[in-house]
């Protein structure tokens, strides 16, 4: 079920009163049923995989906690990793590896055609497998006590607001809330509604609207002119941010209506002054997951500078691969890895700048220069992220080098500026109020209501006229 569809709001309208009226003991059962209905709406077969993953990790969690012997603990942990990564390998990466090894096999006279299988990629598989993996790893590391109730764990895995595209929650944050089965406070309801409406506006009116241009141009870059391609790339950077941060806002807002707090996933990433800061502000739940469970496990920065750089590169390459089984994502990850290494080399031992405080015009210009530079570095990586194949990315680069003018340059420029301006406006308000629900800082609630009504009206009109586009991160 897509958050940007009317059926989701009907679903939510049914789930919320049932959840509120259900006795505390049964609340989590309601949540599990609702989550499975939500997930099964795409394809009921996906829920089977979810059940399997839940049963395995619940059992492993119990066993890990019970057995004290480190040898046995490792075996149980291995079982959890094997099953979770196995699911990912089969459903997400199998086709990629077969396709990648086919040319190599053909050199030696082999034919891998018989290995080709048409496997459907279950929605959000990377998100919930990473979430359940963190559960077992945390128990193994002694940071977490496993939950005794299967139903509580089932909610942790399948909690519908964040099931398909995160934020990838840690059991230490989410599970205690689920066990408490809370009712939302008045403040949570207020914030929840604001987050849902602003998130929907970002997703629909900015993400989807910009995405229509992006999708058309990226599908046939050869027929478009250089300024149009450049506009499409900038628009994609806006689209993916609006799409994903919009989704996260709706997820967090929905969770708040159920009395549960989810972590923030974005903190105005395009206002970052350097690439390290960018990764502290972009897809925070994934970057912190990779840091805690991969980078640190590899040794982090404890084994010398050279090893730190290697660890960074491995983490970013695997981070790229997490997004999808395609060489484009690996290049995207590699580029970010290289950026991070260079930044670490340049700013070695200096404290990484985070946030900005005005201290004269010069500092403002320096800040704006750094933000623009970081944005363009990130923009270049988005080219590989968005291109469906190498030839698309190559066409883009060639058309940037061999510039062709377009009669629509000004039109594309104005469109791009308009989308960017609105998105940046959200960011600036969030940056200065330090709140995603910045609208609530307005004291007159009538004004708040008025703004929200118009945002909701616009989103609904757009949703009614257009087919609901899935969130970009659903495919991961």
Partner 1 sequence: MIFKILKLFIGFIFAIALSLVVLELFLQKAEIETFSTTDFDSHIGRIKRTNMNFTLFNEGFSMGQYNNNSILGPDCSIEKKTGVFRIAILGDSYVESFQVFRRDQFISIMEKQLSKNFGKSVEVLNFGRSGFDLADMFAYQQNFVNQFKPDLILYFLSSNDLICTQTDLLVPKVIYRDNELIVTNDLFPQKYLQTYNKTKSLTQNSITMQMLNSVRKLILAGKFWPKMLGKFYVNFKEPPISDNITKQLPPLAFAIQDNFSSNTIVVNRGNNQLSKEFMFGLEKNKIPFVSLRDTLTVLKQKGIDPYYWVVTNTKGHWNHMGHKAIGYYLSEKLSKLLIN
Q: Which of 156, 382, 419, 471 binds partner 1 (CB under 8 A)?
A: 419
Shortest Cβ distance from residue 448 to partner 1 (Å)? 8
**How far apart are alpha carbons 52 and 58 in whole angstroms?**
10
**DSSP for 62-128, written as a single string:** HHHHH---HHHHHHHHHHHHHHHHHHHIIIIIHHHHHHHHHHHHHHTT---GGG-------TTHHHH
Q: Which of 294, 314, 451, 474 binds partner 1 (CB under 8 A)?
A: 451
Is residue 78 part of the contact set for partner 1 (CB under 8 A)? no
Shortest Cβ distance from residue 206 to partner 1 (Å)? 8
Q: Which helix (H) or strand (E) holds 395?
A: helix 390-401
Q: The tokens of 447 are what?
A: 């004004």
Distances (CA, A) of 392 to 222, 239, 323, 324: 8, 19, 19, 17
Residue 147 or 198 having the CB closest to partner 1: 198
Q: Which of 209, 262, 290, 341 binds partner 1 (CB under 8 A)?
A: 209
| Secondary structure (3-state) at 266 | coil
The answer to whether residues 195 and 252 touch, using CB atoms and an 8 Å cutoff, is yes
Q: Which of 145, 220, 359, 433 binds partner 1 (CB under 8 A)?
A: 220
Which residues make Cβ contacts (< 8 Å) with residue 286, sequence separation at least 6?
130, 166, 168, 319, 322
**How far apart are alpha carbons 175 and 57 in whole angstroms?**
14
Greatest C-alpha distance within the chain = 74
Is residue 219 part of the contact set for partner 1 (CB under 8 A)? yes
Shortest Cβ distance from residue 473 to partner 1 (Å)? 19
Q: Which of 284, 37, 292 is nearest to 167 (CA)?
A: 284
Is residue 7 part of the contact set for partner 1 (CB under 8 A)? yes
Shortest Cβ distance from residue 301 to partner 1 (Å)? 44
**How far apart are alpha carbons 364 and 162 in whole angstroms?**
37
Residue 69 or 467 having the CB closest to partner 1: 467
Shortest Cβ distance from residue 298 to partner 1 (Å)? 40
| Secondary structure (3-state) at 326 | coil
Task: Given the residues 323, 336, 343, 436, select the one marked as catalytic.
Answer: 323
Residue 313 or 415 having the CB closest to partner 1: 415
Is residue 446 part of the contact set for partner 1 (CB under 8 A)? yes
Residue 106 or 219 having the CB closest to partner 1: 219
Distances (CA, A) of 85 to 77, 88, 94, 315, 378: 12, 5, 12, 16, 29
**How far apart are alpha carbons 199 and 255 in whole angstroms?**
13
Q: Which of 415, 429, 438, 474 binds partner 1 (CB under 8 A)?
A: 415
Pattern 385-414, partner 1, x by CB under 8 A: -----------------------x--x--x
Tell which positions 27-46 bind partner 1, by CB under 8 A: 41
Size of the site for partner 1 (CB under 8 A): 43
Catalytic residue flag (residue 323): yes
Shortest Cβ distance from residue 216 to partner 1 (Å)? 4
The answer to whether residues 244 and 162 touch, using CB atoms and an 8 Å cutoff, is no
Is residue 118 part of the contact set for partner 1 (CB under 8 A)? no
Residue 60 or 210 having the CB closest to partner 1: 210
**Catalytically annotated residues:** 323
Name the residues that contact partner 1, by CB under 8 A.
1, 5-7, 10, 41, 205, 209-210, 212-213, 215-216, 219-220, 223, 408, 411, 414-415, 417-419, 422, 444-451, 453-455, 458, 461-467
């Amino acid at each position: 079920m897509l958050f940007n569809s009317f059926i989701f709001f009907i679903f939510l309208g049914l789930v919320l009163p049932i959840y509120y009226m259900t006795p505390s003991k049964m609340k989590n059962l309601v949540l599990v049923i609702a989550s499975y209905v939500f997930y099964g709406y795409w394809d009921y077969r996906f829920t089977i995989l979810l059940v399997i993953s839940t049963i395995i990790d619940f059992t492993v969690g119990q066993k890990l906690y019970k057995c004290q012997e480190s040898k046995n603990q490792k075996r149980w942990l291995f079982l959890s990793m094997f099953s979770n990564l196995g699911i990912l390998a089969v459903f997400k990466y199998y086709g990629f590896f077969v396709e990648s090894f086919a040319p190599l096999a053909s050199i030696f006279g082999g034919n891998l055609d018989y290995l080709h299988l048409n496997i459907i990629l279950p929605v959000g598989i990377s998100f919930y497998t990473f979430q359940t993996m963190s559960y077992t790893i945390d128990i193994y590391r002694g940071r977490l006590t496993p939950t005794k109730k299967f139903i509580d764990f089932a909610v942790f895995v399948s909690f519908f607001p964040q099931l398909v595209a995160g934020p990838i929650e840690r059991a230490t944050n989410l599970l205690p809330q689920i066990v408490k089965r809370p009712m939302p406070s008045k403040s949570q309801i207020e914030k929840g509604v604001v987050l849902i409406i602003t998130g929907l506006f970002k997703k629909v009116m900015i993400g989807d609207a910009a995405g229509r241009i992006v999708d058309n141009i990226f599908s046939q870059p050869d027929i478009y002119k250089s300024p149009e391609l450049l506009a499409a790339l900038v628009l994609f950077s806006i689209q993916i941010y609006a799409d994903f941060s919009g989704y996260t806002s709706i997820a967090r807002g929905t969770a708040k209506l159920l009395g549960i707090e989810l972590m923030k996933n974005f903190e105005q990433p395009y206002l970052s002054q350097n690439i390290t800061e960018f990764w502290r502000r972009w897809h925070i739940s994934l970057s912190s997951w990779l840091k805690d469970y991969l980078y640190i496990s590899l040794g982090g920065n404890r084994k010398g500078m050279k090893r730190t750089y290697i660890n960074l590169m491995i983490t970013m390459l695997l981070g790229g691969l997490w997004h999808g089984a395609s060489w484009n994502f690996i290049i995207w990850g590699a580029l970010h890895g290289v950026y991070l290494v260079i930044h670490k080399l340049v700013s070695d031992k200096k404290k990484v700048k985070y946030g900005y405080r005005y201290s004269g015009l010069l500092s403002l210009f320096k800040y704006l220069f750094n933000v623009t530079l970081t944005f363009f570095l990130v923009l270049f990586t988005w080219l590989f992220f968005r291109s469906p194949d190498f030839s698309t990315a190559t066409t883009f680069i060639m058309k940037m080098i061999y510039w062709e003018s377009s009669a629509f340059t000004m039109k594309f420029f104005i469109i791009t500026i308009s989308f960017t301006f609105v998105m940046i406006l959200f960011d600036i308000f969030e940056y200065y109020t330090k709140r995603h629900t910045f609208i609530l800082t307005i004291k007159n609630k009538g004004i708040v209501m008025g703004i929200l009504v118009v945002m909701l009206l616009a989103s609904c009109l757009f949703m009614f006229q257009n087919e609901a586009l899935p969130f970009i991160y659903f495919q991961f």
